[in-house]
Amino acid sequence: MAEQPVFLSDDVVARFLSYDELILRLEEVLGQFSREDSSEVVQPVRSVMPIHNHNGYLGLMPAYIAHEDTLCTKMVAFYRRKGNLPSTQATVLLFNPEYGNVKAVMDGLDITHKRTAAVSAISAKLLMPAQSDVLCILGCGHQAVSHYEIFTRLFSFKEVRVCSRTLETAERFAARVRGPVKVFTSAEEAVRGADLIITVTNSSEPVLFGEWVKPGAHVAAVGACRPDWRELDDVLMRDAVIYVDTREGAAVESGDIILSGAEVFAELGEVLNGTQPALRNKTTVFKSLGKIFSVKYRQN
Ligand SMILES: NC(=O)C1=CN([C@@H]2O[C@H](COP(=O)(O)OP(=O)(O)OC[C@H]3O[C@@H](n4cnc5c(N)ncnc54)[C@H](O)[C@@H]3O)[C@@H](O)[C@H]2O)C=CC1
Ligand SMILES: O=C([O-])C1=[NH+]CCC1
């Protein structure tokens, strides 16, 4: 009989996750995923089901890495709502690939926050202007915190600006993070002149407009993960070079790509593999949807 799965709570998972390890691991997996001749990393487009009564969605995200025999899935529930209820919940199951039994059940919230921020940081490493002094974060929720942590750890900015839907949320964020932050009440003022812009809102309408964006800036667009949701306007989508985590996912899930008709230039993994260039001198957008995901867990 199979052993009982272990359960790892969010605080235990948080203790195991380091940004440095995550970046190395995600660069490896993004590259493997994007190799045309490779079935090493199998990750179908997630299936997403609406939770009608609660303005939410449940997404199933299975992944299999053949060369290391890792089989796992994340289940993520995400909501568009105001107030104190959480906007995302996630659980990760790690399987024994030979028998199909579950070896570990992990709370997936910290994984979701840190993994997403780590992939955005990889996009910035590849695509942000060589001289990047000003970081602007639009949206001040959970993802904003993990993005702030990793971006200020990896890069040196002269100024970090934030703006959210309400001044109160932005001020709460500024009080929570360690380090200087300039709170703006106008998104336009926060964005103008920024070298790197991160959108981490739960908005379904554009919050970032091409007219505001400095030529050559890099945008990591993390919210708007539904085909009818937007964070970026048509002008930005038309003028920027668009990078994604997976082309198939972008074609069915990203409202910014589908509704603007923008063409995807490359997957981040293709840039990491050297098969597509990092056009650092152009205005670039990395549209993140959250696909590349895999878990290794050693019981000892
Ligand atoms: N791409 C990916 O891999 C992932 C994407 N997400 C998405 O990222 C987004 C953010 O997630 P969380 O931080 O967990 O959500 P959250 O609910 O903690 O924070 C959302 C923030 O957006 C702000 N906001 C809403 N409308 C705004 C507007 N018009 N202008 C400025 N700020 C606005 C809210 O005030 C709040 O501070 C969500 O859309 C979520 O679904 C979440 C996980 C992974
Ligand atoms: O990958 C992820 O966890 C999510 N993507 C969109 C909402 C949550």
pLDDT at 300 over 60: no
Residues 74, 293 contacting (CB under 8 angstroms): yes
HSE-up of residue 122 (Cα within 13 Å, Cβ side):
30
Q: What is the DSSP secondary-structure string of the chain?
A: -PPPPEEE-HHHHHHH--HHHHHHHHHHHHHHHH-TT--SEE-PPPEEEEEGGGTEEEEEEEEEEGGGTEEEEEEEEEE---SSS-SEEEEEEEE-TTT--EEEEEE-HHHHHHHHHHHHHHHHHHHS-SS--EEEEE--SHHHHHHHHHHHHHS--SEEEEE-SSHHHHHHHHHHSSS--EE-S-HHHHHTT-SEEEE----SS--B-GGGSPTT-EEEE-S--STT--SB-HHHHHHSEEEES-HHHHHHH-HHHHHHTPPEEEEHHHHHHTSS---TTS-EEEE-------------
User: Residues of the chain with pLDDT > 90: what percent?
Assistant: 87
pTM for the structure as a whole: 0.96
Mind listing the pLDDT tens digit for each residue in 85-105?
889 999 999 999 999 999 999
Atom of ligand 1 minimally distant from the CA of 87: 17
pLDDT digits (tens, 9 = 90+) for 146-183: 999 999 999 999 999 999 999 999 999 999 998 999 99
The pLDDT of residue 298? 55
Kindly identify the ligand whose nearest atom is closest to the C-alpha of 221: 1
112 lines ligand 2 (CB under 6 A): yes
According to DSSP, the β-strands at 70-79 and 88-95 are: antiparallel
Indicate the top mutation candidate among 58, 107, 289 to test ligand 2's pocket, ranked by most ligand atoms within 8 A of CB. Answer: 289
Count Cα atoms within 13 angstroms, Cβ side, for 9.
Answer: 1
The crossing angle, in degrees rounded to 10, of helices 109-127 and 19-34 is 70
- How many angstroms separate the CA atoms of 21 and 3, rounded? 29
Joined together, the tokens standing for residue 58 give 């449940």
The pLDDT, as a whole number, for residue 294 is: 63
Residue 293: per-residue pLDDT: 65
Q: Which residue has the tokens 């235990």?
A: 12
- Report the distance separating Cα 188 and Cα 211, nearest Å: 9
Distance 113 CA to ligand 1 centre (A): 11
**Which residue has a Cα nearest atom 5 of ligand 2?**
290
**Contact at 8 Å (CB) between 114 and 17?**
yes
What Å distances lie between residue 221 and 124, 144, 199, CA to CA? 11, 12, 5
Is the confidence at residue 54, as pLDDT, over 90? yes
User: What was the pLDDT predicted at 78?
Assistant: 96
For the chain, state the CA radius of gyration: 19
| Shortest-distance ligand to the CA of residue 163 | 1
Judged by its nearest atom, the ligand closest to the C-alpha of residue 118 is: 1
Mutation choice for ligand 1 from 87, 146, 243, CB with most ligand atoms inside 8 A:
87
Task: Measure 158 CA to ligand 2 centroid, in angstroms.
Answer: 30
Nearest residue by C-alpha to atom 35 in ligand 1: 165
Interval 18-32: pLDDT, tens: 999 999 999 999 999
